[in-house]
Amino acid sequence: MTEIEEDKILEIIKGSNKDGVTISVIYGKLGISVRAKADEGKREEVKKLLDDLIKKGAIKEKTKGKTKRYYFVKEV
């Protein structure tokens, strides 16, 4: 398992082009299980990093129905 970094998350979101990406896709690309109890800490870390990227203005979050999608805005 590789270490989770903002750069990796940013690359995943950038790769989605204009379509945006859901958090479950981010988990999948990082090799994190969506439901496993063992990966709970890693999922929380990803959520924290996403919040940090939103605060920096690098990504934005849009909710459509119950689904949140993350979009690339700019390089930080």
Render each residue's pLDDT in the chain as its tens digit; 76 residues.
457 899 999 999 999 888 899 999 999 999 999 999 999 999 999 999 999 999 999 999 999 999 999 999 988 7
How many domains does the chain fold into? 1
Indicate the helix (H) or strand (E) that contains 59: strand 59-64
The CATH number assigned to the domain holding 49 equals 1.10.10.10
Minimal CA–CA distance to 5: which of 29, 34, 33? 29
Q: Is residue 31 part of a domain?
A: yes
Q: Is residue 51 part of a domain?
A: yes
Residue 63, domain extent: 6-72
Q: Is residue 68 part of a domain?
A: yes
Q: Is residue 1 part of a domain?
A: no
State pTM to two decimals.
0.89
